[in-house]
Amino acid sequence: MQIRLRTVAPRAGEAVALPWAQGTPAPEAMAAAIAAAHFTGEAGTSLALFSPDAVILAGTGAAAAPLDFERAGGAAIAALGDASALVLDARGLQPAEAAAFAAGAMLRGAPPLAIRSVPAGKPAPRVELLTGDRPGTIPHWRAAEASARGTLFARDLVSEPANYLTPAIFATRLRSLEEHGITVKVIGPKRLRRRGFGALSAVGREAASGPRLVTLRWKGRLDARPIAFIGKGLCFDTGGISIKPAAGMEEMRADMAGAAACAGAMLALALRRSPAPAVAILAIAENSTGGDSYRPGDVLTTLSGRTVEVLDTDAEGRLVLADALHHARHHRPQAMIDLATLTGSIVTALGHHQAGLFSNDPPLAAALVAAGAAVGEPLWPMPIGVRHREDLNSDIADIKQCAPSGSGASGGRLMPDACHAAAFLREFVGGVAWAHLDIAGVEARAEADALGPKGASGFGVRLLDRLVAMRFEEER
């Protein structure tokens, strides 16, 4: 989906989206309709009028934060119905607001990936951003569009079924980022094994398409150590020998959403030519069940040299991240942020409305919370307690991968697995400032909202892009 900038006023018959701030006087021609429909202009709501002209009023709320303009743009395109074109009339907005308005339309309007023999539904509408200040708008739009494009890239990857997106194909898809100036390096199954990626190799070895470690580098301009994104990229997760129940297992094609978000964020940085150097380390594998699967009870030697006792082969995400986090340290990052659809526990804890944030660095955590709030991808801080780490003490290895089920309180049914996973990951970050985003529960939308259609959300792309813009782009 492309959005073009234009300065020519709408012609008769063109559908126009008009932002309207809550509490401001209604445009005279529409006042009666607005009153009749009880439309308030709340951010993320819209009202479609077809007479005298085709106008979609898009509420920008009262406070009108940048996010409100995005939601207004999203609500506008959601109300477009069967019309095939829309003019976003941003002539009354500041350039940054106009860009946000258009970005929202792109995030909500881009059709989700579908694989059909006969195209169903309609193609993406032709959308134009009408502005009175084209030169002033261009830089803002370039940044906003980059972030949206990165999000759409991530969404498409997440939507792809596991027979389409195997680890090998995922790596190939990521190669396409080279055209944007990103360096792509892939380590295949054999070299992973030889180089001691014991955890990633074990998780991925049974699948027909073996594991990959993909490194994406964006050089930036600043003479600074990079920020590192680390992503869990499980193209499919059967659970392995600790196999998952059948119901809902199809959702496990999205178990690579963390890696997809990291890749999308890299694309966003490249598209907007961010000055900040960044690196993404993506641990890609398929967790299959078969004669060569790793087993509960196995002890793995990770890349760091630390040994890990496996208790549950379905807690594989933390294993591949352990190797990826350790590997990321070779890049001497200023900070490491990992994203992973890691635990069901975080869904029980926080539901589908925000992701869990664990960190060893309060300033980094605060910056992430602020970035998430700014882009509508909220994070909630969660603890790593002393007990969480103690629960992972192993009799046979340096650490257990998760706390055993079947003992402890309530027969072991209730475990703070998200906290345990975070305590486990922390062991592999050394002294680096680190944050872990458990994005299970937010990687997809159950229903469309103002910022996206139903399906893969691309959660994390805009958040990471914003974090870099807020915190890592200043000359030191």
Partner 1 sequence: MADIAFTKPALPRHGALVLLLPEEGSGGTLHEAAIAATDGRLPKALEAAGFKGKKGQTATLWAPGGGLSKIVAIGLGKPGDITAENLESLGGTAWPLIAAERESVIAGEALTPEFAARIGSGLKLRSYRFDKYRTKEKEEDKPKAERIAIATADPAKAKAAFAPLAAIAEGIFLARDLVSEPPNVLFPAEMADRCKVLEKLGVVVEIMGPKEMKKLGFGALLGVAQGSVQEARMVVMKWMGAPKPAGRGKKEAKKPLCFVGKGVTFDTGGISIKPAGGMEEMKFDMAGAGTVIGLMAALAGRKAKADVIGLVGLVENMPSGNAQRPGDVVTSYSGQTIEVINTDAEGRLVLADVLWYAQEKYDPAFMVDLATLTGAIIVALGHEHAGMFANDEALAEKLEAAGKATGELVWRMPLGDAYDKQIKSDIADMKNVGGRPGGSITAAQFIQRFVNGKPWAHLDIAGTAWAYKDVPLIPKGASAYGVRLLDRLVADHYED
Q: Which residues bind partner 1 (CB under 8 A)?
A: 345-354, 380-383, 385-388, 391, 408-411, 413-420, 441
- Furthest C-alpha separation in the chain: 77
HEC string of 18-50 equals EEECCCCCCCHHHHHHHHHCCCCCCCCCEEEEC
Closest listed residue to residue 264, CA positions, set 46, 461, 60: 461
Closest listed residue to residue 462, CA positions, set 103, 191, 218, 169: 103
Cα–Cα distance list, 390 to 133, 191, 407, 420 (Å): 59, 34, 15, 9
Give least dist CB 411 to partner 1, A.
5
By C-beta, is 198 or 372 nearer to partner 1?
372
Contact between 368 and 435 under an 8 Å Cβ cutoff? The reply is yes
Q: Catalytic annotation on 219?
A: no
By C-beta, is 157 or 415 nearer to partner 1?
415
CA atoms within a 13 Å half-sphere pointing along the CA-CB vector of 110: 26
Give least dist CB 427 to partner 1, A.
17
Give least dist CB 381 to partner 1, A.
8
By C-beta, is 105 or 350 nearer to partner 1?
350
By C-beta, is 291 or 406 nearer to partner 1?
406
Give least dist CB 287 to partner 1, A.
22
Which residues have a Cβ under 8 Å from the Cβ of 272 and sit 6 or more positions away?
142, 143, 146, 147, 465
Give least dist CB 446 to partner 1, A.
10
Give least dist CB 80 to partner 1, A.
25
Contact between 377 and 460 under an 8 Å Cβ cutoff? The reply is yes
Angle in degrees, CA 399, 435, 344, rounded to 5:
65
Query: How do beta strands 3-6 and 16-20 pair?
Result: unpaired
Question: Which candidate in 173, 318, 445, 471 is catalytic?
Answer: 318
Angle in degrees, CA 52, 57, 61, rounded to 5:
155
Q: Catalytic annotation on 244?
A: yes
By C-beta, is 181 or 385 nearer to partner 1?
385
By C-beta, is 118 or 386 nearer to partner 1?
386
Contact between 266 and 182 under an 8 Å Cβ cutoff? The reply is yes
Rounded to the nearest 10°, the torsion over CA 462, 467, 468, 472 is 180
Coil vs helix vs strand at 428: coil
Give least dist CB 100 to partner 1, A.
22
Give least dist CB 340 to partner 1, A.
17
Across-strand partners of 432?
A: none
By C-beta, is 137 or 359 nearer to partner 1?
359
Question: Which candidate in 6, 219, 244, 306 is catalytic?
Answer: 244
Give the Cβ contact number of residue 173 at 10 Å.
Answer: 18
Which residues have a Cβ under 8 Å from the Cβ of 284 and sit 6 or more positions away?
167, 170, 171, 204, 211, 212, 213, 214, 233, 234, 235, 256, 259
Angle in degrees, CA 333, 178, 234, rounded to 5:
65
By C-beta, is 161 or 385 nearer to partner 1?
385
- Catalytic residue set: 244, 318
